[in-house]
Chains A and B, each alone.
Chain A
Amino acid sequence: MDVEKQGMTNNGFNYTLSPEDFMVSSIWSLPIHGRAALGGKISCATTIATSLKNTVVLLHGPIGCAYQRRINPCRGWNPIYDMPCTALSEAETVYGAYDRLLGAITEVYVKYKPELILVISTDVSDQIGDYMDAVREESQVPCEIVVSTLVSCEQDSVFAKRGVSILRNALITQLLENVDADAEFDSDDKSLNITTLAQLPDDGQRCREFVSLVRDMGLHVNGLYFYNNTVDDVKKLPRAFASVVQYATEPWTELLDKKYGMKYVELAPEPRYTSIEYGPYGFDGMDRLLMDIGEVYGIEGRAEEVAAQSRRIAEETLARHLPVLKGKTVSIVGSYTGGYAADLVRHCGMKCELLVLKFRTGTNFDMLLSEDAKKRTEEMWCDFCSKYGSDPEILVEPTQEEELKALKRTKPDLVVPSFASTPAWWYENNGFKTLVSNRLFGYFFRLGYWTVVDVAIEARRALEKPQSSKSLLSMLEYDDEYGGLTRYWADSARVFRHVWYEVV
């Protein structure tokens, strides 16, 4: 049965997959995101920069940086077409390149006529030590200039995407530098900024439900950041009374707080990752988020009403799928977050029979997780399963063979793999119906009740359709340690792990 033809799409806030979503999946399945390589700070910075309108990035560095950083590791299929640079040569490494940068800014303005020139440093300019910030004062071009120096930017941590955050801080703090705290803003104490967009294709669709919920609460969305924003959009940030942010501890959030009295609703507040249900996911997570917003605006009652009503509508839709899902058993491949697998257990009545914890999933970042943290994650999963009436067999970092044996022993109705770990086809080839995580790629980037409905639809789809059982990908030989990687790529990942994390 084709569940997508049963009026389940274009109904409420279901997510409609686009071809580009699968391009995102394919790019993220490349082992370059922390496994066999790591996109540098410039690529993270350009990810944000290219989400801005009428903006040109000017790399202060040699041409090689501009040439290869045209290919963004998150959007490999779609180059950054305009990437001028200062084309630094050996002479500038000795004598400096400040004047060159100043001249380059004028040239770039004359050519592109942008609203904003975003100057991003490279290793070379960072090392030369040009006082790049001064161009903001000295340049005479009639457009905004933001300078983002990425010195000492290390992408070691799991969630702090340093290139992203450094650029975001530079952008907001510099553009707001001359926006007076007392200026007549036309400020709106009922408006909210949503600053948590992930710069993935079609971010507008992902935000659709959350924007609607905010409006239902009687608030206005001041701006979505960063998503096709102009300079004025960024300067308008302080108009809002509050902002939804990932973390409220970045320099730009502190600036907005101190200068304009901005309030925050954090998606990832301290203490972090205290349970599998941590975060704005699932019905309860969304309830909490709406109540947090309500509290900031002093509209708790309205927030409660909107949460209850929206949840009820989503639950009614979800109920159509529950007869197929309720009581069915799942094998969950989990890590330090619960995600859509948790929704199947807590909202769809599915029973977890087998829990496979894999910390080396999409990245090598597990090198930063202590054994204690891994143990704590296992305990959180146990607490979660117990709360919802499951008592699964638990495997921690098993080999493929051990996992297969456990699957054959427990015979789950559905396997729920995590993204960028052992892929769906492997489970299907071994005879297990499997939720295809590619189809839920946007899950973590959406805020809303309908994410749960979409998870249920995908689980139902996986249960009801004949599984693919002869995947061509099974012709390749895979590594035991790195699920989903051939031995060659797994060796590359091990070399990367050695040189990046182990050699001091």
Chain B
Amino acid sequence: MAEEIEYMEKEHLSKDPTQGCQLIGAFRVFHGIKDGYVVLHSPPGCHSGMMLLRTLCDNADSRVAFSGIHPRDFIYGAEHKALAALKKVDETFKPAFIALLDACAPAIVGDDLDAVEVKAREDVEIKSKILYFSAAGFHKLAWLGYESALASLADFMDNNSSSGSGKTNTDSVNLIGFKDDGFKSVADLSEIKRLLHGVGVASNAVLTADVFKRIAAAPEASLNVVLGGDGVKLARVMKERFGTPYVVVDYPYGVSATERFLERVCESLDKEANREFMLWERAKVKESVEKVQFYLNGFYGMSCAIVGDTAKGIALAKFLNAELGFDVKVLAVTNKNYVLEETLKEMSGIAHEVLVEPDRFEMEQRIRAAGVQMLFGSTFDKRLANVARIPLVRFSYPTIDNIALTDVPYAGFRGVPAWLESIVNSLVSRYYEV
């Protein structure tokens, strides 16, 4: 069935992007520090854009301010405004950590934010830890910004002083590459932690969906678990600096991937996986499958397209293919990561066509031409689904037109019934002309 995977990459003069710039990637990292704050040294457009991306999926947690750059500052520079914004944010919110990110405009002007960082660190009134991260969007893509920003947190890690213990906690892991602004991220994280607990593994720090102190204490973990390969740069840095080993695992979508996820973590810790726990969980999934068995029978062989990042998009393709018998016609990987090529080799045959960081126009054309009956993607894929008159199941970033408040994950064993609900309901509840 499957043909050779097509690895599409062409240089165009125009692009309708499926991912953002490095500012967005870095923002996603730093906003995941739960007691941290992000200050953008930018005009209002970048700031409101980041705030919208956050606020539309979570009205309560949008920790981003800006330095209020006006166009006149494009001429004279505005380093003083960056410092003023840091002071104001520190005074108002008292965060443990502030990331100062610059946008394109001040980067072109040449504002010296390294100096601002030094000044802020020397200012006795500013209590927060400060990090300046050069994030101007024209430098890099979102995934590269994500990787570099995440790796920059290693500078705050110290396995001797962060918690004072200086020791490694046996059978504890850091989760690397977790993004707290993904659809169902809160539920996914609690499920992943529950699974790890179920096999006797403790969660140390989540990078990034954790408080700063825990992130600083990340070297205390005995293993870094890199979800889908996102954040592997940090894992490599931590291995070099702190000797923390790492393992790259698939994002745990589906029964098999979840079992494999737990097995690989346990193997890496030289620990026996708790088979009883996994069997019990598998039995719970079976109950759900039984309740929708005829639908699943009927949907077997359905064609679909997936638009998502490397970690989640590929994990979903594997799950849909292996466990539901879906025919993945197009897999559009919106964001690369450093292990993508290796991952694509491993998954040869699962998708008919793989598009990597495609132009949106071309991607939509390919998906329309492929003739699929279901689309898995984000809010940005709503029109495509509507035009093709097929259901859209949202799972990838950004999902800003669906809210997820309940503790119903897509990840892990408990995620399987949630996937079944979404898939079955999206087809069954549609209005069909008689």
A residues touching B (Cβ–Cβ < 8 Å)? 30, 32, 36-43, 58, 61-71, 73, 76-77, 79, 81-90, 92-93, 100, 103-104, 106-108, 111-112, 122-124, 126-128, 151-155, 486, 488, 491-492, 494-496, 498-501, 503
State in angstroms the CA–CA spacing of A488 and B62 once bound together.
10
| B88 within 8 A of partner (CB) | yes
Contact B105 A68 (CB under 8 A): no
Given A64-B46, A68-B53, A71-B56, 17 new contacts (CB under 8 A): A37-B44, A37-B51, A62-B138, A63-B20, A64-B20, A64-B137, A66-B17, A68-B50, A81-B360, A83-B360, A104-B14, A107-B13, A107-B14, A155-B44, A495-B89, A498-B84, A501-B68
A-chain residues with CB within 8 Å of residue B67 when the two chains form the complex: 499
Contact A499 B19 (CB under 8 A): no
Contact B55 A62 (CB under 8 A): no
| B127 within 8 A of partner (CB) | no
Partner of A64, one of B21, B88, B92, B379: B21
Chain B proximity of A201: nearest CB distance (Å): 15
Partner of B92, one of A85, A103, A491, A500: A491
Q: Can you show 15 pairs from A to B with CB atoms below 8 A apart? A: A30-B52, A37-B66, A39-B44, A39-B48, A68-B50, A68-B53, A69-B45, A77-B401, A82-B360, A85-B14, A122-B104, A124-B138, A491-B93, A495-B85, A496-B66
Chain B proximity of A104: nearest CB distance (Å): 4
Given A71-B49, A87-B14, A123-B43: A499 and B84 within 8 A (CB)?
A: yes
Contact B53 A71 (CB under 8 A): yes
Chain A: CB-nearest residue to B16: A84
A-chain residues with CB within 8 Å of residue B361 when the two chains form the complex: 82, 84, 111-112
Partner of B81, one of A64, A65, A68, A499: A499
A-chain residues with CB within 8 Å of residue B362 when the two chains form the complex: 111
Contact A62 B16 (CB under 8 A): no
Contact A40 B138 (CB under 8 A): no
Contact B21 A67 (CB under 8 A): yes
**Interface residue total, chain B, C-beta cutoff 8 A:** 65
Chain A proximity of B62: nearest CB distance (Å): 7
State in angstroms the CA–CA spacing of A501 and B400 once bound together.
30
State in angstroms the CA–CA spacing of A320 and B178 once bound together.
61
A-chain residues with CB within 8 Å of residue B382 when the two chains form the complex: 79, 81
| B70 within 8 A of partner (CB) | yes
Chain A proximity of B397: nearest CB distance (Å): 11
A-chain residues with CB within 8 Å of residue B44 when the two chains form the complex: 37-40, 155, 500
B-chain residues with CB within 8 Å of residue A39 when the two chains form the complex: 44-45, 48
B-chain residues with CB within 8 Å of residue A496 when the two chains form the complex: 65-66, 68
Contact B14 A43 (CB under 8 A): no
Contact A499 B71 (CB under 8 A): no
A-chain residues with CB within 8 Å of residue B81 when the two chains form the complex: 499, 503
B residues touching A (Cβ–Cβ < 8 Å)? 12-17, 19-24, 43-53, 55-56, 59-60, 62, 65-68, 70-71, 74, 80-81, 84-85, 88-89, 92-93, 103-105, 108-109, 137-139, 141-142, 359-362, 379-380, 382-384, 398, 400-401
Contact B47 A37 (CB under 8 A): yes
Contact B65 A63 (CB under 8 A): no
Main secondary structure of the interface of B (DSSP, over half): helix
A-chain residues with CB within 8 Å of residue B45 when the two chains form the complex: 39-43, 65, 69, 123
Most chain-B CB neighbours within 10 Å: which of A64, A73, A127?
A64
Chain B: CB-nearest residue to A496: B65
A-chain residues with CB within 8 Å of residue B66 when the two chains form the complex: 37, 496, 499
Chain A proximity of B289: nearest CB distance (Å): 34
Partner of A36, one of B17, B51, B70: B51
Chain A proximity of B19: nearest CB distance (Å): 7
A-chain residues with CB within 8 Å of residue B105 when the two chains form the complex: 123-124, 127
Chain B: CB-nearest residue to A100: B13
- A-B residue pairs, 6 tightest by C-beta: A40-B45, A64-B21, A68-B49, A64-B137, A499-B68, A104-B14
State in angstroms the CA–CA spacing of A9 and B193 once bound together.
54
State in angstroms the CA–CA spacing of A108 and B66 once bound together.
33
Chain B proximity of A93: nearest CB distance (Å): 6
Given A127-B108, A491-B92: A67 and B12 within 8 A (CB)?
A: no
Partner of B52, one of A73, A124, A128, A154: A73
Contact A124 B104 (CB under 8 A): yes
Contact A63 B13 (CB under 8 A): no
B-chain residues with CB within 8 Å of residue A81 when the two chains form the complex: 360, 380, 382-384
Contact A494 B14 (CB under 8 A): no
Chain B proximity of A383: nearest CB distance (Å): 37
Chain B proximity of A395: nearest CB distance (Å): 28
B-chain residues with CB within 8 Å of residue A499 when the two chains form the complex: 65-68, 81, 84-85, 88
Chain A proximity of B100: nearest CB distance (Å): 13
State in angstroms the CA–CA spacing of A492 and B64 once bound together.
8
Partner of A37, one of B16, B48, B138: B48
Chain B proximity of A175: nearest CB distance (Å): 22
Chain A: CB-nearest residue to B50: A68
Chain A: CB-nearest residue to B71: A152
State in angstroms the CA–CA spacing of A77 and B402 once bound together.
9
Chain A proximity of B239: nearest CB distance (Å): 30
Contact A103 B17 (CB under 8 A): no
B-chain residues with CB within 8 Å of residue A112 when the two chains form the complex: 361
Given A77-B401, A83-B16, A87-B15: A71 and B138 within 8 A (CB)?
A: no
State in angstroms the CA–CA spacing of A122 and B108 once bound together.
13
State in angstroms the CA–CA spacing of A493 and B360 once bound together.
35
